[in-house]
Amino acid sequence: MCARAGDVSLAGAVGRLPSPLVETVDDRLAARGVRLLLKRDDLIHPDIPGNKWRKLGPNLARARQLGQHTVLTFGGAYSNHVRALAAAGSLLGLRTVGVIRGEEHRPLNPVLRFAADAGMRLTYLDRASYRAVRAGTGAAVLAGLTAEFGPFHLLPEGGSNTLGVRGCAGLPAELDQDFDVLCCSCGTGGTLAGLAAGLAPGRRALGVTVLRGAAFLDADVARLQQAAFGVNSGNWTLTHDFHAGGYARTTPELTRFLADFHDRHGLALDAVYEGKLLHGLFSLVAAGAFAPGETLVAVVNALADGPPARVAG
């Protein structure tokens, strides 16, 4: 079977593309003359949502072209990318291996339980070895993994390689309403790199980082764009002010924002990524960071599993 390069349809999985673009009407935005549209990429596929679909599509097409039957990737114990690859592998009949940072914990958390149930083989790497692979100096580690699992097609953390970034660059063409700023949350920065590259002239992209101390992301996004497109599009910026203490951390303010957003709009934003994105955008709007008359598009890659937690008082 031969898929087109850049194809986002995963055999056996029907994704909803283009995903819907819906306005969020909110008096806090209206007071500043700013409009907000949500790009509901969470609705693309229940188990392969958002940027994970956009990145995995071209990567798994490439794996098939190369005749590879096993795809191996890396991630933390709560990695949405690992979970999505497990689901895609089971739909496509590809074997998958998830290399998880840190030690094994039993019982498996819901993300790894899902992955294992989907047929993914899981293995664990100590943090030093994990860092070595990430830094490109993990040849011995990869050789060990090949000895254990056989030959594999390697996907980096978050699926953020050249094909993944290019997959994300297709999103702006789906936006059929006028807008000024395309906004997303950033883990590896691969999504921002692609989105910004796909923008028409005169528009800009804004990334909200969810990691603490992620100043390196500015260089990473530039490097990913250089590798995928040969040029830095220069139309994007990152804000590092809304990580709420670090990856998967929260603050009472963020928790309150999520509960309030759910009350107002009926959407349970995920607290790790899109909750920080929307909290950041509402904070920036309140601070007058956008000109009256501007329209923002925020990409929602996933929602929370359940209703938001509440802070007493």
The residues of the shown chain that bind ligand PLP, judged by CB under 6 A, are 50-52, 80-81, 158, 160, 185-191, 270, 273-274, 301-302
Are the C-beta atoms of 38 and 298 separated by less than 8 Å?
A: yes
For ligand PLP, which is the closer residue by CB, 146 or 237? 237
Q: Helix 252-265 and helix 274-286: axis angle, to 10°?
A: 90
- Least distance in angstroms from the C-beta of 269 to ligand PLP: 10
- Least distance in angstroms from the C-beta of 254 to ligand PLP: 15
Are the C-beta atoms of 239 and 257 separated by less than 8 Å?
A: no
Structure tokens at 192: 């921002």
Cα–Cα distance list, 255 to 31, 252, 302 (Å):
23, 5, 17
For ligand PLP, which is the closer residue by CB, 89 or 158? 158
For ligand PLP, which is the closer residue by CB, 50 or 98? 50
For ligand PLP, which is the closer residue by CB, 80 or 255? 80
- Least distance in angstroms from the C-beta of 153 to ligand PLP: 19
For ligand PLP, which is the closer residue by CB, 62 or 83? 83
- Least distance in angstroms from the C-beta of 49 to ligand PLP: 7
For ligand PLP, which is the closer residue by CB, 35 or 83? 83
Backbone angles phi, psi at 218, to 5 degrees: -60, -45
- Least distance in angstroms from the C-beta of 257 to ligand PLP: 17
Number of H helices, E strands in the chain: 11, 10
For ligand PLP, which is the closer residue by CB, 142 or 304? 304
- Least distance in angstroms from the C-beta of 265 to ligand PLP: 17
The Cα 95–Cα 127 span in angstroms is 25
- Least distance in angstroms from the C-beta of 6 to ligand PLP: 17
Question: What CA dihedral angle connects 69, 19, 26 and 272, to 10 degrees?
Answer: 0
Are the C-beta atoms of 82 and 57 separated by less than 8 Å?
A: no
End-to-end alpha-carbon separation of the chain, Å? 58
Cα–Cα distance list, 295 to 29, 33, 104 (Å):
10, 9, 45
